[in-house]
Amino acid sequence: MHVRRGDFAQQYKHVLVSAEHIYDRIKNIIEPNSTLFIATDDKNKTYFEPLTRYYDVCFLDDFADEIKDMSSSLFGIIDQIIVAKGEVFFGTSYSTLSAYVNRLRGYYSSKYKMPGYELGELQSFYFSPPERYRLMTRYHAPAGSLWADEYPMAWRDIDHGIPEVQQ
C-alpha cells in the first residue's frame, strides 16, 4: 500500500484517514497475518501500529542493510516497484505516486494476463474518499482530474498491431 500523509495534510485533508480507517478498508480483502508493505512519507511509524495487530507490516527502511549502497533518491522508485508487484494495492487518492503504481500494475496485468486484464480491471483500491474506493477495479474512461489517476487505456491492448521485433 501507499499511504501519503506529509504534504497532503495541507492540500487534500479529506483523503487523510486514520490507520483504523485503513484497516476497515483492507480487512475484507487482505488476509490477517499477510505481509503488508507500506510505502509512505510518514516518518512517524507509530501511526501504523493499529495495522501491526493484524498484519506483518514492513517498510523500505526495514531493509536498510540491503539498500545501504543505493542513493536515497531512488527510494521512492523502489517503493513504487515493490507495491506495484503486490497481489493487491491500496493507495492514496490524488497521489501521483499511487496513480503511477496503478499504471505499473496495469502493465503487469496485461503482460502476465492477470485476472481482469482483458477489461482493464486491477486489484487496486483507494482508502478514501468512499466514491473512489473501487475506482481501479473496473474499466473507466478518462474524466475529471487527469493528473490524479491512471486509466486502463494507458495499458490495455497497447501492443495491438505492433509486430514483434526479431532478435
The set of cell numbers assigned to 20 is: 483504523
Domain extents in the chain: 2-154
pTM over 0.85: yes
State yes or no: pLDDT of 26 exceeds 90.
Answer: yes
Residues 15 and 5: their CA atoms lie apart, in Å, by: 9
Residues 13 and 17: their CA atoms lie apart, in Å, by: 9
Class of domain 2-154: alpha beta
Task: Give first-to-last CA distance, the chain, whole Å.
Answer: 38
pLDDT in tens, 125-159: 999 888 888 989 988 888 877 777 888 888 887 77
Query: From the CB of residue 37, how many other CB atoms can be counted at a distance below 10 Å?
Result: 19
- Counted residue by residue, the chain has a size of 167
Contact status, residue 135 vs residue 121, Cβ threshold 8 Å: no
pLDDT in tens, 34-57: 999 999 999 999 999 999 999 999
Q: Give the residue from 10, 6, 9, 14 showing the smallest Cα distance to 126.
A: 14
Furthest CA-CA distance within the chain: 53
Residues 87 and 65: their CA atoms lie apart, in Å, by: 25
